[in-house]
Copies of this chain bind each other. A is one copy, B any other.
Amino acid sequence: MKTLKSIGYSIELGSDALTQLNQFFKKETYSSYFIICDENTLTHCLPTLLSSCKALKDAEVIEIESGEASKDIEIATHIWQTLIELKADKQALIINLGGGVVSDLGGFVASVYKRGIDFINIPTSLLAMADASVGGKTGIDLGTVKNVIGTITQPKCVFINFDFLHSLPERHVNNGLAEVYKMALISDANFWKKLSTQKNITNLESVITKSISLKNTIVKKDPFEKNSRKALNFGHTIGHAIESVLLGTKNELLHGEAIVIGMMAEAWLSYQKKLVTKTALHDIISVLKATFNPQTILPSYMDAITTIALNDKKNSKNEIRCVLLNGVGDYKIDVVITPAQIKKALEYYNSRIIEN
């Protein structure tokens, strides 16, 4: 059992997490409980949660469909209407039981309902444990623009029960590991070295804990992303754009899968800007390629990807601002890149994927 202190709340990790959750319910007083989950966590995680927490015996369960399409203003409005109908007051608690979609949506819903009610996160995917559990970002999408409506609101507590990972398919394990590799690349060269020498990650609990701890250090220094927290967006300028463009197509990617491509393309941009050596670039490309086995990007998507990248939240004054690597284990924020450079980076990426 481990406890990490974040901004005004704690992250409880380990086999003991649900016992800690019971302690939390003994300490805090709420008027009512609302569990937000999707069809997967309803089946695989909710029974465990309900059987271990008596406080939740009268909790209302609000089920959403799994998948990014649920991070939608209509779904958010539907949940607010349900909360009103069920007379949720300012002392109600929202419990987000699921992956990043559930915690992004549920956190946003809670952060503006009656100008903000408490919520806790119980992440059930590796991605949500390693990434969404720290930092307080909540949000929904509008059209193809991801997370464009949201808040930075910290949960009351986060409970990470690694047992929930057992129900996770391999594709979703890799989805979360992408953010773990990113944390290593931007902030810890030794951690990167450890990850890159493993053929398969067998010690999931320890790499997740390490990744959360690295992210927590960055977020605590700059909660509102004025400065150093921007580092966490490495791989995301291009990765988010790819994810948005492919959403709803037959080539749709999970978040982490898109970020892997974004990291490889942005690593090449870092090399172009003389921020990483050729050796480091080749090391990054080969490790990510071997670990995640990503596919090429069809040339027909290129224009749409650069258009979306231009509308990225991190931009300023019509320039695309990107986080690049400054050597392995360090970063440089607010590097201006052009749509043409993004295209070249993706062409480089494609060329490295098709080579043997």
Residue in chain B with minimal CB distance to A312: B89
Which of these, B84, B90, B150, contacts A115 with CB under 8 Å? B150
* Beta-carbon contact of A77 and B73 below 8 Å: yes
What chain B residues lie within 8 Å of A318 (beta carbons)? 31, 87, 89
Q: How many copies does the complex hold?
A: 2
With both chains docked as a complex, state the minimum distance between the C-beta of A256 and any C-beta of chain B, in angstroms.
21
A253 interface contact, C-beta 8 A: no
* Beta-carbon contact of B90 and A316 below 8 Å: yes
Residue in chain B with minimal CB distance to A152: B115
What chain B residues lie within 8 Å of A278 (beta carbons)? none
* Beta-carbon contact of A314 and B90 below 8 Å: yes
Interface range on chain A (Cβ under 8 Å from partner): 35 or more
A142-B87 contact, Cβ under 8 Å, with A31-B317, A114-B313: no
A112 interface contact, C-beta 8 A: yes
Q: Give residues of chain A (117-174) contacting chain B, Cβ–Cβ below 8 Å.
A: 137, 139, 142-143, 145, 147-152
Complex CA distance for A151 and B113, rounded to whole angstroms: 8
A89-B316 contact, Cβ under 8 Å, with A80-B149, A116-B151, A151-B112: yes
A residues within 8 Å of B by Cβ?
31, 73, 77, 80-81, 84, 87, 89-91, 108, 111-116, 137, 139, 142-143, 145, 147-152, 225, 310-311, 313-318
Which 3 residue pairs across A and B have the least CB separation, nearest first?
A114-B313, A31-B317, A115-B150
